[in-house]
Chain A
Amino acid sequence: MTQLAQSKAAVSIVQAAPPLFELRGISKEFPGVKALDDVSFSVWPGEVHMLLGENGAGKSSLMKVLCGAYRADHGSFHYNGETVEIASPADAQKLGIAVIFQEFSLVPYLDIAQNIFLGREPAGRVPGTIDRKKILADAKRVLDSIGFDIDPAIRIEKLGVAQQQMVEIAKAISQNARILVMDEPTAALSDRETELLFALIARLKADGVAIIYISHRMAEVFSLGDRITVLRDGRRIDEVKPGAVSSDDLVRMMVGRSVDMSYPRTFAESPGKVMLEVRGLSSASGIAGIDLVVRQGEIVGLCGLVGSGRTEVVRAIFGADKATAGQILFDGQEKSGGPDEAARLGLALIPESRKAEGLALIRSVGDNLIVSALRKIFPRGFFDQGKSRQVANDLIRQLRIVTPSDKQAVGLLSGGNQQKVVIGKWLAAGAKLFIFDEPTRGIDVGAKAEIFALIDRLVADGAAALMISSEQAEICHVCDRAYVMCDGRIAGELARHELSEEKIVKLGMHHA
């Protein structure tokens, strides 16, 4: 990595000039959340600026503000010392800002050249046609400039993730991008591919491109970064040099909060019988060898970074994804079927996306509340509107769901009340194990406390809960135990007295 070292030396010289690009006091608010709060940030040409933070710290929002997808509420942008405006993606492009998202924006059925010059194709002699020779030659030149040796006539769908990433970068370079934003670019790459990417980054640095790099991997934060900015809760915590801090320091900065959460939780003296036991569970969605146990009266946390496989684990347990290996024992009984079997046995899944996976938005609150309990309430198969409304209204009262009536379409309720409907649906079904996937996402503080009170009551009454959450503070506060995931595996288990945000973050980090 001598190339990297050289370019690091070059940076210190360049930094005497104003930064290539600078954000000052950027704020962005959404109803109920301050996504970005007075964030300042700068990059010099030929520099890799690392952006570090937990899920929800504001990295994605910052990136979206940079590329013009969001408009900042406050703050200013400066390009080479001059004030500029970013009100649209076109503005960002004009400034030479390009973002390489984790989800690529390439068209799979077009070839590399067409993707690089999408919307800017060189015109052929006949109006409306593309000059095929020129587009291929131009593409070849761009690809050569980043050292990517490939035939530009190959269609994108034939390429692997790493190659597609190269095409994305080539596309950005062809648009004269001077500021490249990369969102966890190594997340899907093999070691060999990662090396190639790092070589390309060194090359881009040498050409004076400024790189903003979002990462969860400590190793690359130190080896690649010229500076590191840590975000937390939408605020910039600090900007540091990699030589001046340890990885423990960084973890502390990412977590370092002592929010007092007064969620009620009555911990049981001793946990009850084993409700769920999972042994060596694997599925096609990338999880492998998962072992976990949930006992009656427990709330067990499932933590880890977004993409570490938490949702995939609970989907496999519930039967929404097919298990390829392993065993799931529920209440001592082996289960292997789909969600209908899970529901019949007494499992409940409260999915992360209420609207897409939890509710039928066009149907009424009442219809949604009884949908999983139809078999239980009407064992003979004949549905009775009166009985159904009675059950629904009991739940509405019991859970204090705020709705004008059980006939109201559930899509018109607030997020917190919608979540209560999803939970109520499983209460009606008489579920014994509740699996929550980010139960408080998009819910305001008051409703959060109510949801946790509800979960607490459930387990106190003899149910059990498995809870995914990206909010480590929540996990630490309400869970009896927690498993931490990393790269599709369980990286560790933390008992109640061991639970701390720092431990969770540390276990969940990639150490490769």
Chain B
Amino acid sequence: MTDISKPITGGRMLLSDEMIQVFYRLLAAFLICAALTILTNSFFSLGNILNVLRQASLLFFIASGLTLVVLTGGLDLSIGANVAISACIAGTVIHQTGSPTLGVLTGIGVGGAVGMLNGVMVTALRIPSFIATYGMLWVLHGITYWYMGGETMHGFPAGFRQIGSGYFLGLPIPVYLLLVFLAIGTIFAQRTTWGQEIYAIGANPVAARLSGIPVARRLLLVYTVSGAMAGLASIIFLARLNSAEADIGESLTLPAIAAVLIGGTSLFGGLGTVFGTFVGALILTLVLNGMNLLSVNASWQPLVTGVIVILAVWLDMKTRRRAA
């Protein structure tokens, strides 16, 4: 029997489901850190922790844009290929003009344009996002391989390379960018009306449309942002590697999806947070870093990634109160 005199806003009602899910993840990240500190000598060093953060930031840039797409119930499989084409074109611009600024703008612009094209396919042509972006993946690969012709671009201005490998006040530049975009992403998703509409679209696109939300425009925005974030990631990649070739970033798509899922965003849309994706990227990076430090054969990494994704999603399904 329940006591009806008890206030109804007690206990877990005060914490939203999303907050609880993120809390579990932070706890998991913390436990992994603790375990690695005990198990290895090299984990708990400034150099290694900065390295983890820098790697996590790269993954986060791509995964944060993807999070918005997944929140609407879609998927963007073209992000890795988008990184490649954006990096190669931005690299060319920098080589030709010598202007890093122009290169950065080009990278983000190309990425955004590709994303917008995805958005047009999903909204105007009504192609399921999974298929539209999967097709886009191949198209971008094709263009990039043709464009690069097997060549590799080398040697960018030192100022430009700072974006990827420089430090400011002892922290890598990408970590600052990570904090900036984490803040922007969180504010956009949680604190703007557009963000709220994106959740509503993901939870029920039909109801969202009949509630007066301009669904097509919001989707177009979300795919464009996802593309632009891939463009941004391509710049940081370029600056860090100091080279570009056609298959740069090719291996990033699946880890980015993993980070989104580990971060608690539902592939069915409407549930999840950008902050969760940050923690997801952190957990994934920590685990892979730890396996390196523990000298576990690298071929185990995909298996472990897969197990974590499945576990995370399964735990979500168990802990979320079902209403649909």
Contacts and interface: CB of A to CB of B under 8 A. Distances in A.
Given A362-B271, A374-B196, A343 B212 contact: yes
A339 B190 CA distance: 24
Interface bin, chain A: 35 or more
A410 B323 contact: yes
Contacts of A242: none
22 contacts: A320-B209, A338-B209, A357-B206, A359-B204, A360-B270, A362-B271, A362-B324, A367-B199, A371-B197, A371-B208, A371-B213, A372-B213, A374-B196, A381-B194, A382-B191, A383-B195, A383-B196, A404-B13, A405-B9, A407-B16, A409-B321, A412-B321
A359 B204 CA distance: 7
Interface string B281-324: 00000000000000000000000000000000000000001011
Contacts of A360: 200, 203-204, 207-208, 270
Contacts of B207: 356-360
Interface bin, chain B: 20 to 34
Contacts of B16: 407
Contacts of A411: 323-324
A363 B13 contact: no
B212 A372 contact: yes
Interface in A319-375: 320, 338-340, 342-344, 349, 351, 356-363, 367, 370-372, 374-375
B212 A344 contact: yes
Nearest 10 Cβ contacts at the A-B interface: A343-B212, A409-B323, A411-B323, A360-B203, A374-B193, A340-B214, A360-B204, A361-B324, A404-B8, A372-B211
Contacts of A429: 212
B212 A362 contact: no
Nearest to B196: A383
A213 B16 CA distance: 54
A317 to B, nearest CB: 12
Interface string B253-284: 00000000000000000110000000000000
B56 to A, nearest CB: 28
Interface of A: 318, 320, 338-340, 342-344, 349, 351, 356-363, 367, 370-372, 374-375, 378, 381-384, 404-405, 407, 409-412, 425, 429
Q: Name the residue in A359, A384, A410 with the highest tally of chain B Cβ atoms < 10 Å from its Cβ.
A: A359
A357 B9 CA distance: 29
Nearest to A410: B323
Given A361-B203, A412-B323, A371 B192 contact: no
Given A320-B209, A360-B203, A412-B323, A383 B9 contact: no
B188 to A, nearest CB: 10
B211 A362 contact: no
B210 A362 contact: no
A449 B245 CA distance: 69
Contacts of A356: 204, 206-207
A383 B192 CA distance: 4
A381 B192 contact: yes
A305 B13 CA distance: 45
Given A359-B204, A409-B321, A412-B323, A349 B210 contact: yes
Given A320-B209, A362-B323, A382-B191, A371 B270 contact: no
Contacts of A412: 321, 323
Given A356-B206, A367-B200, A375-B193, A343 B323 contact: no
Given A367-B199, A374-B193, A407-B16, A358 B271 contact: no
Contacts of A339: 209-212
Q: Name the residue in A356, A360, A374, A425 with the highest tally of chain B Cβ atoms < 10 Å from its Cβ.
A: A360
Nearest to A353: B206
B203 A363 contact: yes
A362 B13 CA distance: 15
Q: Name the residue in A320, A343, A358, A383 with the highest tally of chain B Cβ atoms < 10 Å from its Cβ.
A: A383
Contacts of A407: 13, 16
B323 A367 contact: no
A298 to B, nearest CB: 23
A281 B51 CA distance: 64
A488 to B, nearest CB: 22
A356 B210 CA distance: 11
B39 to A, nearest CB: 39
B210 A320 contact: yes
Contacts of A381: 192-194
A344 B197 CA distance: 15
A404 B12 CA distance: 12
Contacts of A410: 323
A50 to B, nearest CB: 37
Q: Name the residue in B206, B207, B213 with the highest tally of chain A Cβ atoms < 10 Å from its Cβ.
A: B207
A383 B206 contact: no
B192 A382 contact: yes
